[in-house]
Structures are given as C-alpha cells and as structure tokens.
Amino acid sequence: MNRKLVLAGVFLLAGLIAFRLYQEWPSDDAAGGFQMPPGGFGRPVSSAVAEYGAVFEAVTLVGSLRAQEQVEVSPRVSGRVESMRVDIGDAVQVGDLLAELEDDELLQQLQQSDAALAVSAAMVQQRVLELRNQEVNLERARGLQDSGLMSAEQLEQAQTRYDVAHSQLNLARAQEGQAEAGHRELQIRHEQMSITAPMSGFVGRRWVDRGAAVNSNTPIVTIVNLATLKLVAAVPEREVTKVEIGASGVVYVDSMPGETFTGEVARISPLLDPQTRTAQVEVVVPNPEARLRAEMFARVELSLGSNREALRIPRQALVVRGQDEGVFVLREDVANFTEIDTGLSEADWIEVTAGLQPGDTVATMGANLLKDGDPVRVVGAKENEDTSS
C-alpha cells in the first residue's frame, strides 16, 4: 500500500512540473520566441551568382629554390686534414683558404729536390767549363795541324774530345731540366695541400673535421652562391607553348608569408616528358640580400598574357564528384548538381566554359556537404536581408 502511495506522489509531482513548464514556454508570437529559420530546416549554404568578369591566364610553378651555382670542394691530392679554416654559414671569396692538409713529408721532398737542383746546376757549370777547354784544345790542334806540327789523326782525336764534352753538356742541361720539372711538380702538390674556394658564396655544408684522411673523391665543404636562385618545375604541354623566355612572375615562399619576390623565365626545355607530357621550365630569382635560402619551397605565378571577359564562379563553388566537376545550382531552395566545364583558374575564381548561364545561383560555402536534391537555406547576404526587413 505504501508503495502505491509513493508512486502516485511521484506521478503527481511530475505532472505539476510539466504543467508549470508548459505555462512558461513562450508562444510563436511572443517577442524573442522561437521562429522557423528562413528557408525552413534545409542545409545552410552561402551562394553566389555566375557572372561575367575579367580572367587572367597564368600558370603556377611549384618547387624548391636551388642555388644557381653550387660546388662540392674536394682536394686534388690525398692527405690528412691539418686545419679547417671555415665553417657552415661563413661567407667566402674566390681564392680564400678553406682547409690545409699535412705537408711535412712533402716539405722534405721539396728540400731534397732543392738539393738535386743545386747538383744539376753545378754539373751543368762543370760541363760548360769542360766544353770551353776542349774548344780551346781543338782550335790549338787545328793551328798545329795547319803548321804541319800535328797529324790528322791527332786533330781527329781533339775533335772527338770536343764533341763528347758538348754531348755531356747537353746531357747535364737535360738532367737539370728534369730536376726542375720534378721540383715544380712538388711545388704544385704543395700548393694543392692548401684548399681554396673556387667561387664566392657561403659555406653550405662542412663534410670533414681536422685529422680526417681525404682524397680527390672526398668533399671538404659545399659552397653555394645565393646571389641568384632558380626554380625548375614541370609545365603541362598545353601551357608550355605560351611561356616565353624573359617572362616575369611573382614568387611566393611559404616560410615568408606576406612577402613576394620577382622571377624571370631563363630556360625552357625543348623536350617533353613522354610520360607526364610536361616540359622543364627554369625560373631565376635574384637574391641580392641573400634573404632566400636554397631548398626553400616556393611557388611562381607566371602571367601568360591573356586578359579577357568570361563567365566565372567562386572557386569554393566547384565540387568534384569522381571524375566530374560541377556545382550545385540553387532553384526554389533545392540544390541540383550540374556538371560544368572549366577553363582558366585564379586564386579565387574559376572560368566556366559550359554548363551554366549568367545569373545562375550556385552554392559556395557548404557545397561539398550537399547531395543532389537536398533542400537548402541560404545564409549570409540573403539571410541578413530577411533579418533587416
């Protein structure tokens, strides 16, 4: 019995609460009360009207900026690194000393070569004196032979001694030249122990430290010249014919938002990739203040010189369904998917070449969430007009 009384009390209390809430609920006509959203309960979308406007034909190239001049500096001779004179980020000029290799052994060889050169020079001097002596003897023998005081055989012996002395002088001079060549070779090798910068720029990488054993295949440092950068990108076949050498473009760098740089088409490849049907286009970007860095990701917008009136819609109105491009045309608060053909595209606008008529209203924001035949309600400008009225 007590249980029934408790349940009855609970139901009575719930009924009183419900009645009280009903009395407090505002009517549809009360100010500030609940009202049906404009357009009903369809999906909220923004809209725009397809209309004619100016379109500018351009192509966007995407890629990484690269140094126009970059070189990995390697030694010409093998050895062990004695000292490093530069590090990453250092500015260098042509001929600046980058590193030195140990040269103790080579210096010893140079000393031996200097001594050999001195011996060769002394030998030449000796042979010159011997030749002069034999020349005097030959002249004396000729005079004696003319006077009948020397036989022809003795004159012939004097001539032979002169010829031998002359040959020995030539041999000494050749040996001296050989010693000089060897000495010069050692000097060149010694000069190559000092590794210098082949161009001006900045040290981009340092590959070795002091004490490392290196050879002609071992890079010491990488030097990059940042005065001019380049971007190489693939341009589609239908657009590459419109790109000309010397055409200017605007360069955007993702890591430097809000800033723009200038670029110029320097080279266009005459060959197309048979797989992608694209050609390589090289754009050079002046960088006199060295603010840009190699390998920065960049975009270059090249104007193709076309400026005309065309039917266009906002880019956000375009919807892709599989392989089809289209828009949702709004008619009597219903979204109907309509396939279109597109032409040129800009940052905010897309040209429509077929599928729409001027004045057609299309869904923009929220279009990607729609399905064909969905009821919609337009928010934004139209909704604001209804509110203001």
What is the pLDDT at residue 133? 92
**pLDDT class for 158, splitting at 50, 70, 90?**
confident
**pLDDT class for 369, splitting at 50, 70, 90?**
confident
The residue among 298 and 240 whose pLDDT is bigger is 298
What is the pLDDT at residue 148? 81
pLDDT tens digits, one per residue of 373-385: 889 888 865 433 4
**Residue 45, beta-bridge partner list:** 378
What is the pLDDT at residue 26? 46
Does the pLDDT of residue 163 top 70, yes or no? yes
Q: Give the list of residues 6+ apart from residue 22 with CB closer than 8 angstroms, or none.
A: none
Q: Tell me whether residue 134 is exposed, middle or buried, using C-beta atoms within 10 angstroms of its C-beta: 0 to 12, 13 to 18, 19 or more.
A: buried
DSSP one-letter code for 256: S
pTM of the model: 0.58
Query: Mean pLDDT throughout 332-337?
Result: 88
**pLDDT class for 121, splitting at 50, 70, 90?**
very high
Catalogue the E-assigned strands of 36-116. Answer: 43-45, 47-49, 51-64, 66-73, 79-84, 91-92, 97-101
What is the pLDDT at residue 41? 63
The residue among 6 and 151 whose pLDDT is bigger is 151
Short-list 282, 358, 348, 346, CA closest to 316: 348
| 212, 78 Cβ separation under 8 angstroms | no
Report the distance separating Cα 223 and Cα 86, nearest Å: 11
What is the pLDDT at residue 388? 39
pLDDT tens digits, one per residue of 67-86: 989 999 999 999 999 999 99
What is the pLDDT at residue 201? 93
**Residue 79, beta-bridge partner list:** 214
pLDDT tens digits, one per residue of 208-238: 999 999 999 999 999 999 999 999 999 888 8
Residue ranges of domains in the chain, CATH in brackets: 43-55+309-388 (2.40.420.20), 61-69+225-306 (2.40.30.170), 103-192 (1.10.287)
Main-chain dihedrals φ then ψ at residue 108, nearest 5 degrees: -65, -40
What is the pLDDT at residue 332? 86
The residue among 58 and 153 whose pLDDT is bigger is 153
**Distances in Å between the alpha carbon of 338 and those of 156, 323, 356, 378?**
118, 13, 8, 18
Q: Furthest-apart CA pair in the chain: how many Å?
A: 178
Short-list 344, 341, 299, 305, CA closest to 324: 341
What is the pLDDT at residue 166? 92
What is the pLDDT at residue 24? 46
Summary mean pLDDT of the chain:
84
**pLDDT class for 370, splitting at 50, 70, 90?**
confident
Q: β-strand 376-378 against 43-45: which pairing, if any?
A: parallel
Does the pLDDT of residue 7 top 70, yes or no? no
pLDDT tens digits, one per residue of 264-282: 999 999 999 999 999 999 9
Task: Give first-to-last CA distance, the chain, whole Å.
Answer: 63
The residue among 210 and 59 whose pLDDT is bigger is 210
Q: What percent of the chain has pLDDT over 90?
A: 46
Q: What percent of the chain has pLDDT over 70?
A: 86
Short-list 160, 183, 172, CA closest to 125: 172
Separation of CA 206 from chain center:
19
What is the pLDDT at residue 389? 40
What is the pLDDT at residue 106? 86
Other CB atoms within a 10 A radius of the CB of residue 67 amount to 23
Short-list 105, 46, 87, CA closest to 368: 46
